[in-house]
Structure 1
């Protein structure tokens, strides 16, 4: 993805995530869309729902990120390895400590917008998509959409999140990772003024 395309995509994603968050800020009840999503997965077996959520878990995502970072280092791409570490870390940190308290959306006694599970998984997928080219990028995007749909069903069915939390988390993760990519890239290409 070209730098300009990344910038436009990032801007559109953060705008959508912020607008969706403002629409549901301070809510403690589901929207009509959230109710419809819940109805679609209500009654699915617990084991199936739990399996659908697995791709969002840290014990799945952290080894993937470690493997991608090692691959970057072996390929003599230290800037990309830094991006692999910083992209998801920044996304999760900002989501947890800034956005969730800012939007103040609750499900039971938990802040839920944007979904942290979703931010973690989508951030990882975006990192991979940015680092690969051509057909591999298309495959990553398709796999990502399927995983996101499955994870959304699992999280909604288990009562972790409303579907709007998942959508907002996905858009925010795309923005955050692309923003970090831009910062890492600009730092690498900045001329050394000390020489």
Structure 2
């Protein structure tokens, strides 16, 4: 018997599929990074997508700016803070730790990869992979992972649910970044795949750490008294 406190943030039913997906996503990040390393020009696909969304006006530009704000420091803190508060209100501290850890590792990974890839846009601005896209994708993946666990979704349905939410969030932020000229389309694909690669690992680390801490706390407690001793407690001693 373990001392686990609260449900796991990575449902056991989803582990079998999310692991290989994370490995595949990491490979995509590496391949795209190598293909566009030290580049400062859009690829053929980037150019076509950029031409299709360039010059968008109101109200869609306002939508793009609002979406972009969610990935900015202030917007990101407000969004994560609201979600963490909700987890604490629901008495799920492990989920709160997961939200902070998952977003931090996702954005931190893109920050570390940018100087390695060396791809730039608008001068010397490092662009690959997109941190904004990684952030919003990570948030969507984490929220749906927690929901899938609470709802008890099976492997196929749960995985489809999580990936669909991540795809929608990543596509929305990716569109905003390309529309605003902040990233190439392949930068946003790299950010999306970064979140897919990092989140299952983050969830596993949070669960493993929380379970170990709970087990240590349980092991440090004194063992319960035998039942016959508890039953006799308070009775006067017979002579």
Q: Under TM normalisation by the shorter chain, which class is it?
A: 0.7 to 0.9
Computed over aligned residues only, the root mean square deviation of the Cα atoms, in angstroms, reads 2.5
1:101-132 CA distances to partner (integer Å, 9 max, x unpaired)? 11000112200000111112111111111111
CA shift in 2, pair 1:143/1:130, >3 Å: closer
Larger Rg: 2
The residue aligned with 2:128 is 113
Which of 107, 121, 124 does residue 139 from structure 2 map onto? Answer: 124
1:18-69 CA distances to partner (integer Å, 9 max, x unpaired)? 1111111111111001011111112321652342242242344433322221
Which of 16, 30, 36 does residue 18 from structure 1 map onto? Answer: 30
Q: TM-score, normalised by structure 2?
A: 0.72
Mapping of 1:67-146 within 5 angstroms? 67-96=82-111, 98-108=112-122, 109-133=124-148, 134=151, 142=164, 144-146=166-168
Measure how far apart 1:158 and its partner are.
1.9
1:150-186 CA distances to partner (integer Å, 9 max, x unpaired)? 3323321221100000000001012222211110111
Q: TM-score, normalised by structure 1?
A: 0.86
Describe the SS at the equivalent of 1:192.
helix
- Asked if the contact 1:115/1:166 (under 8 Å) is kept, the reply is yes
CA shift in 2, pair 1:177/1:185, >3 Å: same
> Aligned partners of 1:69, 1:184: CA distance in 2, in Å?
15
The residue aligned with 1:174 is 196
Question: Any gaps of 5 or more consecutive residues in structure 2?
Answer: 1-10, 221-239
Question: Any gaps of 5 or more consecutive residues in structure 1?
Answer: none
